[in-house]
Amino acid sequence: MPIYKKLVRDRIPEVIEKTGKHFSTRILNDDEYIKELKKKSFEELNEYINTENDNDAIEELADLLELIHALASFHGNSFEEVERVRQNKAQKRGGFKEKIFLIEVEDE
């Protein structure tokens, strides 16, 4: 029996159950949960980085977005609040649409 020891989506036990396979799970405490959310974020980001086509990239971005929703909730906020903060930062500092790559800044 493979051992995974990782955070999974809420309906994964249901999916496994439908296959007739036996499995075990447990509910994480808050400290474990945030640690696993962060770990899962790196896992999904790495999967995104290694995509080779637009369809796979969108799938992985959707996974990252799901994690952002979960992280915002864990920190007592909503995705809408994260989006508000993002928009504020974009208004003040811009986004990344212009593809600007900073080489150096003169140090006086």
Q: Is the pLDDT of residue 50 over 90?
A: yes
Measured distance CA(7)–CA(66) in Å, rounded: 13
pLDDT in tens, 17-49: 999 999 999 999 999 999 999 999 999 999 999
| pLDDT value of residue 108 | 83
Q: How confident is the model at residue 8 (pLDDT cuts 50, 70, 90)?
A: very high
CB 12 within 8 A of CB 24: no
Cβ-Cβ contacts under 8 Å for 23 (sequence gap 6 or more): 13, 16, 17
What distance in Å separates the CA atoms of residue 51 and residue 36, rounded to the nearest whole number? 23
72 neighbors 79 (Cβ within 8 angstroms): yes
Average pLDDT, the chain: 97
Categorize the per-residue pLDDT at 1 as very low, low, confident or very high, splitting at 50, 70 and 90. Answer: confident
DSSP 18-51: HTT------PPPHHHHHHHHHHHHHHHHHHHHT-
What is the predicted pLDDT for the residue at 82?
Answer: 98
Contact 74, 37 (CB under 8 A): yes
